[in-house]
Amino acid sequence: MKWYIAKRILWTFVAVWIALTFTFALVTASPNQGEMQAMMSCATSGDDPAECREQYRERQGLDTPVTERYVNYMVNMATLNWGWSDSRSQAVIPAILDAWKFTAQYAIPVLILSTLIGYGIGLYSAYKPYTVTDYAGSFVAFFGISIPNFWFAIVLIMLFGVNINALPVYYQSGIPLEYGWISVKNFLQLVLPITVLLTASLAWQMRYSRAQALEQMNQEFVKVAKAKGASQYRLMIHHVLRMAAVPLSTSFVGSLLAIFWSGSVIIEQIFAIPGLGYMTYTAIVEQDTALILATTLLTVFLAILGNLLEDIAYVVLDPRIDYGNR
């Protein structure tokens, strides 16, 4: 097992290297907007575009061999010199370090809550399928899947922010600095974003866990446990969930990234949260190449790391899986 993990970590580095190399190749092969602008600018002011192109390439270090640029690029990436973000007037790494906290403060609770509540309802629905409670759970799930995040967010803001005036309409980034990240005031301004995001992700978790649990409910070992008089709690948690959790765990990283890409961008725009989603969206809209590159690579890193953790989780959850010989 240890050898497997060591190999996987080693492979993680290889995968990251491949991703970085692929990105470098894409950027190198793409038409350089700055270069084209420089040429255009020179052409229109009566200068020689070819000369301007050379000057531009020299200034940007593009006149060096591609291998040298590749080495410089890899060194910069390894030393976290990821460039300058024009859309934020900030270096890329500080930009990410500033933004991730604002996303994590609601994304982590959403992930935990959606897993606990979603699996809980899913297991319960599986235990009592086709009953009123199952239908109620299904209704919640389909409501969450069907309702557009942006619309739900606006409705909640109107209801709780404007009409009842019980919760803040938008996120004030000064509150965590003044009152702390874990404070009632900060919690209050996160209630609506968490609710919106939770509705969508919980539904997905619930339907998936219900399906997995239902599959296990017909297994022999469940019947044996039932025959031996196992309580409902013991049956579902110790027997069904443990087996259902193996396939479920494979979706963990996927859910995290799905929350980020499908939810965060919209939630952060609507609630004015200066997190990774809003940052990425702005970077794309404003063609902030350095920041787009960084957020893309961040996603790749998360996926690679997540897959490693998932594979390790397999073994913990199901001792029959053995990586000893791999």
Partner 1 sequence: MPSGNKRRKQQSDGDGGEGGLDRRRVMQYMAATGVAASLAGCNSGGGDTTTSGTTTSGTTVSQDEIPSGGTFIYGTTGNTNGLNVFRVGDGETSARAEMVMDLGYVRESPAYSDFLPLWFEDMTVEQPVNQIDIKLRENLQFGEGHGELTADDYLWCIDNIWTADWANFTYASEFTVGSNEEPIQFEKVDKYTIRETIPNSRPFFPYNEPLSYMFPIPKAIAQSYVEDQNAEGLAQDNAIMRATFNGNLGPWDLKRWSQQSVMEFERGEDYYLREAAANDDRVPEIFTEAPYFDEYHFQYFDKAQTARQALQAGEIDATFIPSTQVGSYEGNDSDNLQLYQNPYRSWSGYLGINHRANGWSQLRNKKVRHAMAHIYNNDFVVENIAEGRAATQNTLHPSWGPYAPDDPVTFDGSIDKAKELLKEGTSSDYGYSGDTFVGPDGNQVELTVVYQSGETDDLRAAYLKQRLSQVGIALNQETTSWTSLLSNYFAPGQKASGFSGTIGYGEDNTSGGPYNPGPWDEVVSGNSWDFMLTLGFGYGPLTPAGTIASLFGEKGNFNAYGYTPDENLAAMRDEAQTAESREAAQSTIQEMLLYLSEERPVIFEYNPYNYYAYRNQVQNIGESPPDSYWKMLQDRSSTRMFFSNGSSGR
| Interface with partner 1 (CB under 8 A), residue from 21, 28, 41, 219 | 41
**How far apart are alpha carbons 208 and 307 in whole angstroms?**
19
Of the candidate spans 168-176, 238-246, 253-261, 308-316, the one that interacts with partner 1 by CB under 8 A turns out to be 168-176
Binding status of residue 24 toward partner 1 by CB under 8 A: no
| Interface with partner 1 (CB under 8 A), residue from 15, 20, 52, 95 | 95
At 244 the three-state DSSP class reads helix
**How far apart are alpha carbons 203 and 58 in whole angstroms?**
54
Binding status of residue 278 toward partner 1 by CB under 8 A: yes
CA distances to 149, 191, 203, 274 from 271, in Å = 12, 11, 22, 9
In terms of Cα–Cα distance, which of 143, 126, 146, 145 is closest to 134?
Answer: 126
Q: At closest approach, how far in Å is the CB of 179 from partner 1?
A: 15
**How far apart are alpha carbons 117 and 126 in whole angstroms?**
14
HEC string of 118-157 equals HHHHHHHHHHCCCCHHHHHHHHHHHHHHHCCHHHHHHHHH
Nearer to partner 1, 131 or 287 (CB): 287
**How far apart are alpha carbons 304 and 141 in whole angstroms?**
29
Of the candidate spans 34-42, 110-118, 210-218, 312-320, the one that interacts with partner 1 by CB under 8 A turns out to be 34-42
> Quick one: tokens of 262?
């499908």
Binding status of residue 270 toward partner 1 by CB under 8 A: yes
- What is the total count of residues that contact partner 1 (CB under 8 A)? 43
Binding status of residue 45 toward partner 1 by CB under 8 A: yes
Residues of this chain, 169-228, that bind partner 1 according to CB under 8 A = 169-174, 177
Site residues, partner 1 (CB under 8 A): 37, 40-41, 43-46, 84, 86-90, 95, 98-99, 154, 157-158, 161-162, 165, 168-174, 177, 268-272, 274, 278-279, 281-282, 285-287
